[in-house]
């Protein structure tokens, strides 16, 4: 991972390097956002957060290795898949775990991205898509070149983004190396013919999808420009000017403006079909991170945040936004004192509506189901300990999803 180059240098890049930038832009934007926020908020002192929304750091914050409350009650029925040096498949309720070797050496910036596809798992590794059958037993099936695997129009299919032009400058009708998408089903069969990305700019899919299509972004310096594009109809459904999409579900996209959600952070929720929008606000001094997650029914949005500044230099937590009641509240039990040995918190949902929270580089997983008062630590699940390098030297990060 490297910092973004100055615009004058970007202009000198040829088409080959520009397309490489498209592959890696999403990760580098996170690095830029982190540095910018730390500088801007270095002097922020937050006094008296309202407890029902965001409490200030205090007795509720705890080190990652401390003993937080453990989960109890009914099980989640979830299987957690953790990818880093290998694939660790763990029963979230019993802790039973087994490891699978990764099928290829490290690849590009979307390495280790994973997508549920029916009961199967689609893994991006070594610039190749690999399909693991239900239960993740047996060797994976090689589905060919892949820069990123992306959820499909239904739960039983997925998109594979690839670049048939490779590094050939000028490949394509207009010289732009935007690549193509292939739709595959849960058996790995290709559905229809490959579809080229729009050729009016150097677009790349971010990995977010809505019912109407995919979220595309432009690989360039300057204000974010993202649009919703339907690959089946080759129709642009909606353009989001100056938007940075945090997550998507159904017809909804959650987004912020600019590259950092600073104090007085506002999250916009736009229905890409109707254009209707609602906005929810974090309290002053609370910094939103660059990725959130919608619950399976789309009614609740989980967003990792920093309390008083960017997570790492300040405690992290998870905020729940209820789109029906417009309530914004801290999820008790997710407050964690992060440090330089760890990356950000990540939040993700199971298909049965359980929310899981983990810290990049941490060993514990928190869980929460609607109706519970607080998130609790899964008592029998422990992720492999790892040692993260500084962000600018970290070539890949672990990934964790729920099946």
Mean pLDDT lowest among 81-90, 181-190, 254-263, 325-334? 254-263
Strand partners, 355: 349, 368
Number of domains in the chain: 1
Average pLDDT, the chain: 79
- Answer whether residue 348 is part of any domain: yes
pLDDT of residue 361: 84
Residue 353 lies in a domain: yes
Average pLDDT over residues 379-385: 93
Q: Residue 369, CB half-sphere, CA atoms under 13 Å: how many?
A: 14
Strand runs labelled E in 272-327 = 277-281, 286-288, 293-294, 300-307, 316-322
Q: What is the pLDDT of residues 90-136, one digit of tens each?
A: 999 999 999 999 999 998 878 999 999 999 999 999 999 999 999 99
pLDDT of residue 48: 35
- Secondary structure in 3-state letters for 91-137: ECCCCCEEEECCCCCCCCCCCCCEEEECCEEEEEECCEEEEECCCCC
Judge whether residue 72 has pLDDT over 60.
no
pTM for this model (two decimals): 0.80
Domain-located, residue 239: no
Give me Rg for the CA atoms of the chain: 20
Whether the pLDDT of residue 11 is over 60: the answer is no
Query: 65 φ, ψ to 5°?
Result: -95, 5
The reply to whether 260 falls in a domain is no
With vertex at residue 155, the alpha carbon angle to CA 102 and CA 345, rounded to the nearest 5 degrees, is 55
In-domain check, residue 68? yes
The total number of residues shown for the chain amounts to: 403
Helix (H, G, I), strand (E, B) or coil at 11: helix
What is the extent of the structural domain holding 363? 53-101+302-318+332-403
pLDDT tens digits for 185-210? Answer: 999 999 999 999 987 777 889 999 99
Which are the contacts of 294, defined by CB distance < 8 A and separation ≥ 6?
247, 248, 249, 250, 252, 254, 300, 301, 302, 349
């Amino acid at each position: 991972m490297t910092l973004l180059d100055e615009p004058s240098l970007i202009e000198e890049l040829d088409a080959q390097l520009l397309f490489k930038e498209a592959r890696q832009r999403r990760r580098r934007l996170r690095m830029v956002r982190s540095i910018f926020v730390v500088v801007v908020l270095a002097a922020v002192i937050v006094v008296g957060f309202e407890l029902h929304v965001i409490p200030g750091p205090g007795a509720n914050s705890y080190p990652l290795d401390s003993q937080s409350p453990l989960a109890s009650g009914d099980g989640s029925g979830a299987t957690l898949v953790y990818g880093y040096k290998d694939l660790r498949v763990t029963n979230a309720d019993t802790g039973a775990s087994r490891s699978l070797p990764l099928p290829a050496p490290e690849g590009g910036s979307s390495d280790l991205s994973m997508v549920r596809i029916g009961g199967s798992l689609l893994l991006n590794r070594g610039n190749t898509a690999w399909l693991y059958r239900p239960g993740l037993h047996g060797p994976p099936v090689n589905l060919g070149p892949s820069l990123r695997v992306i959820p499909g129009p239904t739960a039983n299919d997925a998109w594979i983004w690839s670049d048939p032009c490779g590094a050939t400058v000028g490949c394509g009708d207009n010289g732009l190396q935007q690549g193509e998408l292939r739709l595959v089903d849960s058996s790995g069969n290709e559905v229809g013919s490959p579809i080229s990305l729009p050729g009016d700019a150097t677009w790349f899919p971010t990995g977010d999808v809505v019912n109407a299509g995919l979220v595309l972004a432009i690989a360039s310096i300057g204000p974010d420009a993202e649009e919703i594009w339907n690959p089946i109809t080759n129709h642009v459904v909606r353009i989001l000017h100056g938007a940075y999409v945090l997550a998507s579900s159904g017809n909804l996209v959650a987004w912020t403006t600019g590259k950092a959600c600073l104090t007085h952070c506002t999250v916009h929720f736009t229905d890409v079909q109707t254009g209707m929008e609602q906005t929810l606000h974090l309290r002053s001094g609370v910094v939103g991170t660059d990725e959130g997650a919608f619950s399976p029914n789309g009614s609740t949005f989980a967003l990792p945040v920093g309390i008083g500044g960017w997570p790492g230099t300040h405690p992290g937590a998870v905020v729940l936004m209820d789109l029906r009641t417009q309530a914004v509240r801290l999820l008790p039990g997710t407050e964690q004192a992060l440090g330089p040995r760890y990356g950000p918190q990540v939040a993700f949902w199971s298909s049965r509506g359980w929310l899981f929270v983990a810290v990049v580089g941490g060993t514990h997983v928190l869980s929460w189901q609607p109706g519970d008062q607080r998130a609790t630590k899964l008592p029998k699940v422990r992720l492999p300990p790892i040692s993260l390098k500084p962000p600018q030297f970290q070539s890949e990060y672990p990934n964790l999803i729920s099946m």
